[in-house]
Structure 1
Amino acid sequence: MRLEDLTVVVPTKDEAGNIGPFLDSLDDRVALVVVDASTDDTREIIRRRRPERTTIIEDAGTIPEARQIGLERAETEWVLFTDADMSFGDDYWREWEALKVSQQVGAVQGAKLSADDDYKTYYKLFSFGIRAMAWLTIPAGSGSNMIHRRRALLDAGGFDPALTANEDIYALWSVRKAGWRVIYAKGLKVYERDHRRLEQGRFRKTVHGWIRPLMLFTGLGDDRVRESSWGYWNDEEAEDRGG
């Protein structure tokens, strides 16, 4: 795989404290599309630290809307979706270059681990769960580390703007339902530096991440999933992203 064929898409909102380490972990050869709703100096930091191969789009929409904007703006064959509080592993870009996929692969899921000792075991189990589900051909990846063949995701309808959470796994599932293969590549590792969701409770986060997608996949109560994030975003965060 070629790094020149990859665009990284990241939604941002007041990420001045996170964006530096994120940018430091990027390879200079990949394109970057930032869909930003910041009121702080996030955009200025990005312009200063990564002036080349970077596009910044100002938009205050929801996360799914921001991801869709990035998908449509990207011009490469592959689009990597992630978050600003992630850092890519030291070997991430070499692992991508070494990866070989068939023309039937529409998306690649990677691992999500902890950047420090906090919740290290949780994230290892989380990534093992993604891998195990991939053996069963069931997408279960994270929007912090998923790579879509651009054509596959567009053909599958892109991101559902009605979802304020779980739009990532639903996009993977949509690609799978459209007839593409969705695989897992354990060498593609990102590291979480902000554990706010888990600080609300690991059990709550786990249930939220499995029950809602199951309802979306089966169609049982999917209207309830689309009308609310079930507390994943608090009121202030939802307002910040226009959700």
Structure 2
Amino acid sequence: MTTPLPPGFRITLDQDTKPLREDLWFGGSPARVLRLTPAGRKAWQELARGPVSSATTGTLARRLTDAGFAHPLPPDPAAPAELTVVVPVLDRPGPLARCLAALDGRHPVLVVDDGSADPAAIAATAAAHGAKLVRREVNGGPAAARNTALDHVETDLVAFVDSDCVAAGDWADRLAAHFADPLLAAVAPRVRALAPDTAAGRYTTAAGGLDLGDRPARVAPRTRMSYVPTAALVARRSALVEVGGFDPELRVGEDVDLVWRLHAAGRRVRYAPDVHVDHLEPTTWRALLGRRARYGTSAAPLAKRHPGNLSPLVLHPWPALTVAALLARRPLLASAGFGGAVLGMLKTLRSNDIPTDGLVRAMGTAVHQTWLGAGRYGTQFAAPVLAALLVPRGWGRRAAVASLLLGPPLTRWLADRPALDPVRYTAAALADDIAYGAGVWAGCLTHRTPAPVLPEIVWRPLRVDREEKR
């Protein structure tokens, strides 16, 4: 049975949610069509006017927020949150001092020294800012340090913040308001890059791996937002303990693993970008690309722990055929593939009594997204092959390969218009993807699994849900 969203919560529709008809909505993540019953339409009318006020409106609000059609807006808390701020640290007393100085002092702070080479410097920094200190004699990594903190925290809410973050103001209290939802296990703010005014810094600011953008989301595997970094995170201690805390065997990717285990336990995790913290970013290309490669090494152990949750490329047959034919300069086959995509979706829509307006444009968008996805996949996992294909004569082949390499970064540059020229941005994005892919391949070899580099084919063109009758 669905647990309703509690009274007092409001919801706001996601920017991709589109009403096709009074009883039909398109949106969500993964994308689907939701058919509302008469009771559901009445509940939506109540939700559009105000907050959750009954089990019926609460159940619909839960359904919409779980599917990604909408996002919850928590009520104003009656009292300040009772939480503990936890700062794990390994060396770096300077950034630690900056982190502690930015905290507003409303909540107790626990610093976990994870085996620093100069423990006296860490102890002095913690004492200067009134923080309690716990010392681990042997370095165990971020997961082990956070687990140590859980053993010393008495409040049920824990605000984790890394020592290289600057988390000023009431960020933790604003996130804590979301815990009026009893199913919520964790909520993350937006982590913005705090980088130097260099080419590497400007690229990181525009495309930093920790900044997940300005759109709120439910965090779950196989959705638009499959994870959140634990550089800054407010969590319910009891929920973390329930799933065994962080996995200390993972030095990288422990945040993804935690989110996926919380999801499997029926808990909710949310991304709330209206709250933000700043994160000190690498200052050189070498450090930046090295970090991306380390992130990539987490894919293989995650794939083995969570089969089916990690797909580097998801392909639908007809759009994939269309893209392949276009790249091979086979216009008739490409036309046949696009026609198959349109006809297949037309059959699905008509069989479910769904309007077909805009179908051709939607299929064109699907082909475009498939091309971009294939290009980034090729850059990450087969860059040497693509580079070799640029060498033989034949402008058609070169143009096709160049479109795969250059299309994704140039598309992102045109959409975001970062403070970096398109040439350097594109070169940086290619190096970024290649570094990440190299890390993934290294992890695959170490853990003896090809899962993180295997594309997935999805045969179902569109999911159609019916809201449960109540």
Deviation at 1:200, TM superposition (A): 2.5
Normalising by structure 1, we get a TM-score of: 0.77
Counterpart residue number, 1:232: none
| Correspondence 1:57-76 to 2 at 5 A | 57-59=134-136, 60-63=138-141, 64-76=143-155
Query: 1:84/1:4 Cα in 2 relative to 1: closer, same or farther (>3 Å)?
Result: same
The alpha-carbon distance between structure 1 residues 91 and 28, as it changes in their structure 2 partners (threshold 3 A), is closer
Matched, 1:192 2:243: no
Task: State the 1:124 CA deviation.
Answer: 7.9
Q: Which residue of 2 aligns with 1:121?
A: 206
**Greater mean deviation of Cα atoms: 12-21 or 149-158:** 12-21
Distance, in Å, in 1 between the alignment partners of 2:234 and 2:262 is 11
Deviation at 1:120, TM superposition (A): 0.6
Q: Distance in 1 between matches of 2:218 and 2:177?
A: 23
Of the structure 1 ranges 149-158 and 103-112, higher mean CA displacement relative to structure 2 is found in 103-112
> In 1, distance between residues paired with 2:172 and 2:107?
9
What residue number does 1:7 align with? 84
Q: TM-score, structure 2 length as denominator?
A: 0.42
Runs of 4+ with deviation above 6 angstroms: none
Unpaired runs of 5+ residues, structure 1, are 229-243
SS of alignment partner, residue 239 of structure 2? helix
Instruction: Kindly indicate whether residue 134 of structure 2 is the aligned counterpart of residue 45 of structure 1.
Output: no
Following TM superposition, by how much is the alpha carbon of 1:104 offset from its aligned partner in structure 2, in angstroms? 0.9
Q: CA, structure 1 residues 15+163, in 2 after alignment: closer, same or farther (shift >3 Å)? A: same
Query: Cα 1:180–1:22, aligned 2, differ >3 Å: closer, same or farther?
Result: same
In structure 2, distance between residues paired with 1:98 and 1:167? 25
Matched with 1:180 is 267
Tell me by how many angstroms 1:91 deviates: 5.4
Alpha-carbon distance in 1 for matches of 2:135, 2:299: 32
User: Which whole-Å CA distance do the structure 1 matches of 2:209 and 2:160 have between them?
Assistant: 20
Gapped runs of 5+ residues in structure 2? 1-76, 310-442, 448-470
Cα 1:155–1:166 change in 2 (3 A) is: same
Matched with 2:191 is 112
> Any residues of structure 2 matched to 1:219-238 within 5 Å, and which?
none
Per-residue deviation at 1:24?
Answer: 1.5
Mapping of residues 116-155 of structure 1, within 5 Å: 116=195, 117=197, 118=201, 119-123=204-208, 126-128=211-213, 131=216, 134=219, 136=223, 139-155=226-242
CA gap of 1:203–1:168, structure 2 versus 1, over 3 A, is closer
From 70, 95, 99, the counterpart of 1:22: 99
- Structure 2 equivalent of residue 240 of structure 1: none
Deviation larger for 86-95 or 25-34: 86-95
Query: Which letter does structure 2 place at the counterpart of 1:204?
Result: A
Inter-partner Cα distance in structure 1 for 2:103 and 2:205: 23
C-alpha displacement of 1:151? 0.5
Contact 1:106/1:153 (<8 A) preserved: yes
Q: Report the Cα offset of residue 188 of structure 1.
A: 2.6
Which protein shows a greater Rg? Answer: 2
Cα distance in 2, alignment partners of residues 131 and 213 from structure 1: 24
Contact 2:252 2:297 in 1 (8 A): no
Seen in structure 2, the aligned counterparts of structure 1 residues 13 and 216 have a Cα distance that, compared at 3 Å, is same
Distance 1:15 1:185, change over 3 A: same
Structure scoring higher RCO (CA < 8 A, sep ≥ 6) equals 1
SS in 2 for 1:192: strand
Q: 3-state SS of the aligned residue for 2:234?
A: strand
- Is 2:293 aligned against 1:204? yes
Instruction: Please point out which of 193, 213, 218 is paired with 2:302.
Output: 213
* AA of the residue aligned to 1:71: L
1:160 alignment partner in structure 2? 247
**8 Å CA contact 2:172, 2:234 repeated in 1:** no
Cα 1:133–1:13 shift into 2, 3 Å: same
The answer as to whether partners of 2:190 and 2:214 remain within 8 angstroms in 1 is no
Q: Distance in 1 between matches of 2:134 and 2:215?
A: 31
Conservation of the 8 A alpha-carbon contact between 2:93 and 2:122: yes
Provide the secondary structure at the position in 1 that maps to 2:276.
strand
Q: Is the 8 A contact 2:104 2:170 kept in 1?
A: no
1:93: Cα distance to partner?
4.3
Q: Which amino acid aligns with 1:67?
A: R
In terms of fraction of residues, the more helix-rich structure is 2
